[in-house]
Chains A and B, each alone.
Chain A
Amino acid sequence: MADLNPFTAWRRLLALPNESRLKTVAMAFLVSAICAVLVSGATVVLRPIQAANRAAEEQARLEALVAGIPGMADLLQRSGGSLSTVVMDLARGSAAREVTPETLETALADPANWTALQAGQDIAGLGQRPNFAQIYLLRDGDRISLALLPISGAGYNGRIDAILALRGDMRTVAGLAVTRQSETPGLGARIEEPAWLASFAGKQVSDDTGTVRFSVARGTASSAYEVDGITGATRTGNAVTQIVRFWLGPQGYGPLIDAIRRGEF
């Protein structure tokens, strides 16, 4: 009859020679279990604080993006000094009816609010895209003068998140801010550098027919649709091209851009 008293079992385990197979497995299991509890505990306890930090950082980058666009300070003051936040329905290209910025997070936790992307459509490497996105609009009178569109997609080493600012004509880039990236330090990670991001301002993303033509050049930009590439970061540059093209295309903000051009928004 096996002794089921845990206390004596523990003692017998400790008394086993270190080289015995049972003790090796038991020690490996115990150490990993305790460490797993420690790590998950720290992650769970600290996550709210980290999320708040990231949100504050994103807010600061958004403000820096707006402040860095020439003429924006004036516009901001005229329109009451703040951007309006809109949750939009990507497929319809209009404001979402049921979802507000407060409930967006819960809505996106539901897999039914995500659309799987076909291989041909998924040029940004997303796999699926949310049906709702939170965008920021700045109005000048009843005209939209600036739209801040969050974009994201797969980079070379991981996901890239950015915010693209388009002027009221929905063709001219007012600026770009990279909010998250994990590209190679010194090469791809240079997409975060203000000097490179500044080169986006004034570029055209699409031509007169509305076709998206934006790209990150290999080397020096040769047209109004291109920005200079970063040496040694071709894959990251291509990723940025694809992300911008995806999000300005029919699966992304295309319907919204059409609606704003028609003056419906």
Chain B
Amino acid sequence: MTAPSPLWSTLTDPLVRQNPVMLQILGICSALAVTTSMATALTMAASLTVVLVLSAGIISIIRRHIPDAIRLIVQIVIVASLVIVIDQILQAYLHDISQKLSVFVSLITTNCLVLGRTESYARLNPPVPSMVDALGNGLGYSLVLVVLGSLRELFGAGKLLGWQVLPLAEQGGWFTPMSLMLLAPSAFFLLGGLVWALRSLRPEQAEPAEFVPPVTREAGE
């Protein structure tokens, strides 16, 4: 058995083993907000992945010439411009979905995931590995969004991508939609459940407890 090439592991590591959302708990604001349906989750995931890959590529190309003093500003300017361009394209060609995503596309700028990858990886590595790493992280984020989006749409509306999968009770079927699934708290429950399931399967992901209470003898023996 040959060892997998480093590029391949750069791409696949962030999918499960180093998933940015579930291990590092980055970018969950948008993961919670846009996953009420598959269509919005997919659009958001695609937008974030494109922004992440392009910004990683650009920053990696000019990485030797970014003055250290203004490196965060330079990165944010590049990311923000790409986000605006993507937002404009969505408003032009996917008007309905961009209305549903409202501010969350613009908020990709402040998504810790993007800045985290450009700052910790793209700034220090050549373009190809940087873009592969960005693609891997984008896909990892997309994976979580698609799982959350499909669960919420399926149980909240009985649909997947707009198709009625579970017959609704009010239309003569048996399924009563759980409207809680379409509200923000359900995304918290689901994401928490996913993190718990993943950390149970892979105990190495669990963090050590931050505070261990000292063992004290009960008073008043």
Contacts and interface: CB of A to CB of B under 8 A. Distances in A.
Interface string B84-118: 11001101110100000010000000000000000
Give the interface size class of chain A.
20 to 34
Contacts of A23: 65, 67
The majority secondary structure among interface residues of chain B is helix
B92 A49 contact: yes
Contacts of A50: 88, 91-92, 95
Contact of A39 (B85, B93, B95, B102): B85
Interface stretch (A1-9, A25-33, A117-125, A195-203): A25-33
B70 A46 contact: no
A196 to B, nearest CB: 19
Interface in B38-96: 62, 64-70, 73-74, 77-78, 80-82, 84-85, 88-89, 91-93, 95
Contacts of A208: none
A24 B81 contact: no
Given A28-B73, A57-B95, A185-B102, A18 B88 contact: no
The majority secondary structure among interface residues of chain A is helix
Given A42-B88, A46-B89, A31 B67 contact: no
B65 A28 contact: no
Nearest to B93: A49
B77 A46 contact: no
Given A19-B69, A24-B67, A35 B77 contact: yes
B187 to A, nearest CB: 15
A232 B80 CA distance: 32
A112 interface: no
Contacts of A57: 95
A43 interface: yes
A23 B67 CA distance: 7
A53 interface: yes
A90 B95 CA distance: 33
B102 A32 contact: no
B68 A27 contact: no
A38 interface: yes
Given A28-B73, A53-B92, A18 B85 contact: no
A18 B66 contact: yes
A14 interface: yes
A28 B91 contact: no
B88 A43 contact: yes
Nearest to A20: B67
Contacts of B89: 42, 46
A10 to B, nearest CB: 11
Contact of B67 (A19, A42, A43, A53): A19
Contacts of A46: 88-89, 91-92
Nearest to A186: B184
A32 B80 CA distance: 11
Contacts of A35: 77-78, 80-81
Given A18-B65, A31-B78, A46-B91, 18 more contacts: A14-B65, A19-B67, A19-B69, A24-B70, A27-B66, A27-B70, A27-B74, A28-B74, A31-B74, A35-B77, A38-B81, A42-B88, A43-B84, A43-B88, A46-B88, A46-B89, A50-B92, A53-B95
Interface of A: 14, 18-19, 23-24, 27-28, 31-32, 35-36, 38-39, 42-43, 46, 49-50, 53, 57, 185
Interface of B: 62, 64-70, 73-74, 77-78, 80-82, 84-85, 88-89, 91-93, 95, 102
In the A-B complex, list the 9 residue pairs whose CB atoms are closest, starting with the nearest.
Answer: A35-B81, A49-B92, A53-B95, A24-B67, A46-B92, A42-B85, A42-B88, A18-B67, A46-B88
